[in-house]
Amino acid sequence: MLNNKIYAYLGGAWVDITSSVLSLSYSGGIKGNKETDRIASIGTLSFTLKNNSGDYTPGSGSAHADWKKGTQIKVEFTKLTTKVKFIGWVNDIGLEYKKNNNRANITAVSWLHFASNLPLDIPALQEDQRADEITTTILGFSPIQPISTSLQTGSSTFPYAFHDNTVKTTAYSEITKAVMSEWGYAYEKQDGTLVLEAYNGRATTQKTVSVTTAQNGALLLEDGTSLLLEDGTELLLEDYSITEQNATSTVISDIDISHGKHIVNRSVINVHPYKPGNDDVLVYTNETNQLIPAGETVSFRLQFTDASSKQPIAALEPSVKQYTLLHFDTPPDGVTGIVDSAVPTVLGDTTPFFEPSGGGYFTSPKKFGTASYGCNGSSDYIYSGHQEKFNFRAGDFTVDWWEYRLSATSGRAMVSRASTGVYSPYVFGYSDGTNARAYITSNGVSWDIASARDMGTITTSTWVHYAITRSGTTFRTFKNGVQQDTWTSSATINPTSDQFSLFLYNGTFLNGYIDEFRMIKGYAAYTANFTPAERQHYVSGINYSVYTSPPLGGSEITSSMTVSTGIGGVGLDFSITSASGSDGYLNLEIYALPLQSLSTISAVAENTSSINSYGYQNENVDMRLRDDINFAETIAESIVTAEATPRTVLNKVSMVANKNDLNEALFMDCDIGDLVRITDTESGYDTTAYIQAISWRAVPGDGGVIVFFDWLVKEQ
């Protein structure tokens, strides 16, 4: 005979509360057997406890003082071996008070309950992920974990995941997206194992069960029940036998069969593709300067937001970078200098970020925008006081610009980290009379990192794009997007506090125009040939600066800050640690490449003959993580092929576990997802099917518990 125990985890240990149980029932699994029924609902255990002593009244101070919502519950059944048939957590306690018959009505739930209520809270945007990888990421956000997991490797790789999240998106909804896009199944077994089945990942061999022959295996009483030991298990004879056989239900108390229930003659599968935008956009700016106390760490969470709609948006991962970006457009009224578009603009502040020493704005020639900036080759140049973002040190960087040089005179350079001295930390666009060259020093006394590295032939009186990058230890130069030179060095570029200059190097001046000058500290934008953008640049990445007074006032102390971020699909966690002895105020802007939602594309499959006979019987499915229609077409066609004409469908079988040893084995050993055989003499039904869902109830009986159980099934 079957025997059961129910335990509550109290005081740090499992406590047997079976003697208090009056009734017990369970229901769990995928609550349907249509093609679109692919993820389980919450597993639920309902039971009633005797409560005359108040042991199960929370906070009563009785024998089970720590009994409450959230207490873990476990149900075990024994028949030769012991199997866990439910494990979960108390979710609801209802108390009944009757004279000498007080009761506690309890509902316990499986892990999926927590998944359905758990906001994912800005998970990292995932690229090129499978369903099992997505599920693993989701589990990392759950403070309460499934008892165990069995995650099959997904058969498809999705371009993006967590890209359309909001702060209210739940773990359950994201698992659903992954499962439906994979066209697999997700459910919990009765022992608490979270299962993910991939497409075509369902078992193809029939479940086997361990069956004992009661006459040989157990000592029976006159009423046919088993003789029990003190622990509730059966008294077994020495010569009992166990046979392994296929799980085949034959002693059935009720069978539910329907005809034409699942007819589908039109199937529409919708996919929702996304692609990165063409330009970085501003996705976050702190409107108030955040105080960073001296020597402390400040952390906060932010969301990416569309500038116009103010709605959350998803974006590809921005990098932590520090920018310089000069468009050389006509400056605002009252500004005589050159605006660095990468520095947060303060309303009413007319202080220039780059100062001109001669030269001026020209509407012709110009490359982009409203103007370029030109210098005469004899005294004009542009400079900026020291900023730490000009010191690249050992990190990645990008420097690029458009120039319209009027002369190839030797000794002239476009970019110089120091305005005086031969060994500026770096000199780019230096003319040897024929070619543009790059020079870099680590020691200030020799060009040990780069000496006359080629940047391409100088072309005068036309717009030319030059670029130089460092990625790791590899340096590259480009002219009009074509690589000119490459070399390696692990050395640190010599830092300086000198002013930065354009058009001026070591007392010589360049004659020409410049437009769209950009420097990025912390990122190599070009590592292979490219086509220079025929537009103005946007500032991309996480750009920050810290000053001793807001806004952008006092001294800059950015170099004393260490920043770390945890990237999210629609936001990120930002943390900044100060090593400065002064309080600072953070200016933060984040530019990133947003993901753009494209028009939904649909695969439609129809069976015209079936439609003419039975009218439209339509099924819609959303595959939210896919970006192409090929797989959707396969699924749409498979649904209609299987369901276009009426057929007889097996839905549910009901059994009594105590009828015989085979039924007891079926109850004990079979679980959700197993492939079983159903045979019924009265209806003539004989088929193999998957168990979609299981429900059972246990009631006291002579010599042990009597178990009634149902299988909701889906034919193979």
Residue 491, pLDDT above cutoff 90: yes
Q: How many CA atoms lie within 13 A of 555 on its CB side?
A: 7
Q: Could you tell me which residues are beta bridge partners of residue 383?
A: 355, 501
Residue 213 lies in a domain: no
137-157 pLDDT, tens digit per residue, is 999 988 899 999 999 999 999
CA distance 476 to 492: 16
**Quick one: 253 and 165 in the same domain?**
no
For residues 28-40, give the mean pLDDT.
95
Residue 216's pLDDT band (boundaries 50, 70, 90)? very low
Pick from 499, 503, 495: which is nearest to 418 by CA? 499
% of the chain surpassing 70 pLDDT: 93
Q: Which tokens belong to 42?
A: 């919450």
**Quick one: 349 and 254 in the same domain?**
no
Per-residue pLDDT, 213:
64
Q: Please, are residues 295 and 578 in contact by the beta-carbon 8 Å criterion?
A: yes
534-547 pLDDT, tens digit per residue, is 888 877 788 888 99
Residue 227, pLDDT above cutoff 70: no
**Quick one: 524 and 665 in the same domain?**
no
Residue 224's pLDDT band (boundaries 50, 70, 90)? very low
Tell me if residue 654 falls in helix, strand or coil.
strand
Q: What is the mean pLDDT of the chain?
A: 90
For residues 57-64, give the mean pLDDT.
85
**Quick one: 509 and 377 in the same domain?**
yes
**Quick one: 641 and 668 in the same domain?**
no
User: How is residue 715 annotated by DSSP?
Assistant: E
Give whole-number Cα distances, 264 to 269, 378, 534, 634, in Å: 13, 82, 52, 15
Residue 90 lies in a domain: yes
Single residue among 537, 553, 584 that ends a domain in this structure: 537
Residue 667 backbone phi and psi in degrees, to 5: -65, -45
Q: Which tokens belong to 565?
A: 């971020």
Q: Which residue has the higher pLDDT, 246 or 164?
A: 246
Per-residue pLDDT, 141:
85
Q: How many domains is the chain built from?
A: 4
Residue 215, pLDDT above cutoff 50: no
Q: Which tokens belong to 196?
A: 């993910």
562-616 pLDDT, tens digit per residue, is 998 876 667 888 999 999 999 999 989 888 888 888 899 999 999 999 999 999 9
Residue 571 lies in a domain: no
Residue 202, pLDDT above cutoff 80: yes
**Quick one: 641 and 669 in the same domain?**
no
Per-residue pLDDT, 404:
98
Residue 427's domain is classified under what CATH number?
Answer: 2.60.120.200
Q: How many CA atoms lie within 13 A of 633 on its CB side?
A: 5
**Quick one: 77 and 103 in the same domain?**
yes
Name every residue whose Cβ is closer than 8 Å to that of residue 377 and which is 6 or more positions away in sequence: 406, 407, 409, 412, 509, 510, 511, 512
Residue 363 lies in a domain: yes
Single residue among 537, 557, 585 that ends a domain in this structure: 537
**Quick one: 642 and 653 in the same domain?**
no
Residue 688, pLDDT above cutoff 90: yes
**Cα torsion 667, 671, 674, 679: sign:** positive
% of the chain surpassing 90 pLDDT: 67
Tell me which H or E stretch contains 227: none
Q: Please, are residues 502 and 415 in contact by the beta-carbon 8 Å criterion?
A: yes
Pairing verdict, β 193-197 and 148-151: parallel
Question: Could you count the other beta carbons within 10 Å of the beta carbon of residue 541?
Answer: 22
For residues 161-165, give the mean pLDDT.
84
Name every residue whose Cβ is closer than 8 Å to that of residue 461 and which is 6 or more positions away in sequence: 404, 405, 406
Residue 573 lies in a domain: no
For residues 43-62, give the mean pLDDT.
92
286-344 pLDDT, tens digit per residue, is 878 999 999 999 999 888 888 778 787 888 878 777 889 999 998 877 777 898 887 75
Residue 671 backbone phi and psi in degrees, to 5: -145, 175
Output helix, strand, coil percentages for the chain, rounded to the nearest 5.
10, 45, 45
**Cα–chain-centroid distance for residue 210?**
42
**Quick one: 506 and 618 in the same domain?**
no
Residue 346, pLDDT above cutoff 60: no
Q: Please, are residues 119 and 165 in contact by the beta-carbon 8 Å criterion?
A: no
CA distance 692 to 715: 10
Q: Which residue has the higher pLDDT, 471 or 541?
A: 471
Residue 153's domain is classified under what CATH number?
Answer: 3.55.50.10
Residue 691, pLDDT above cutoff 90: yes
Single residue among 537, 561, 577 that ends a domain in this structure: 537
Per-residue pLDDT, 347:
41
Whether residue 594 is preceded by a cis peptide bond, meaning omega within 30 degrees of 0, is no
Q: Please, are residues 226 and 575 in contact by the beta-carbon 8 Å criterion?
A: no
Residue identified by tokens 């106390």 is 293
Residue 539 backbone phi and psi in degrees, to 5: -75, 125
Per-residue pLDDT, 503:
98
DSSP secondary structure of 487-514: EE--PPPPP--SPEEESEETTEE-EEEE
Pick from 337, 389, 388, 359: which is nearest to 504 by CA? 359
**Cα torsion 611, 600, 182, 186: sign:** negative
Residue 297 lies in a domain: no
351-380 pLDDT, tens digit per residue, is 557 999 999 999 999 999 999 999 999 999
Domain that holds residue 267: 263-273+598-646
**Quick one: 606 and 691 in the same domain?**
no
For residues 263-282, give the mean pLDDT.
87
Residue 293 lies in a domain: no
Per-residue pLDDT, 240:
56
Residue 513, pLDDT above cutoff 70: yes
Residue 217, pLDDT above cutoff 80: no
Q: How many CA atoms lie within 13 A of 121 on its CB side?
A: 12
CA distance 542 to 317: 10
62-118 pLDDT, tens digit per residue, is 788 889 999 999 999 998 789 999 999 999 999 999 888 999 999 999 999 999 998
Residue 677's domain is classified under what CATH number?
Answer: 2.30.300.10
Q: Which residue has the higher pLDDT, 680 or 454?
A: 454
**Quick one: 389 and 529 in the same domain?**
yes
**Quick one: 98 and 122 in the same domain?**
no
Pairing verdict, β 355-357 and 322-326: unpaired
Residue 229 lies in a domain: no
CA distance 282 to 292: 23
Residue 257, pLDDT above cutoff 80: yes
292-307 pLDDT, tens digit per residue, is 999 999 999 888 888 7
Please tell me the pTM assigned to this model: 0.71
Tell me if residue 499 falls in helix, strand or coil.
coil
Burial of 433 (0-12, 13-18, 19+ CB in 10 A): exposed
Per-residue pLDDT, 339:
86
CA distance 64 to 11: 8
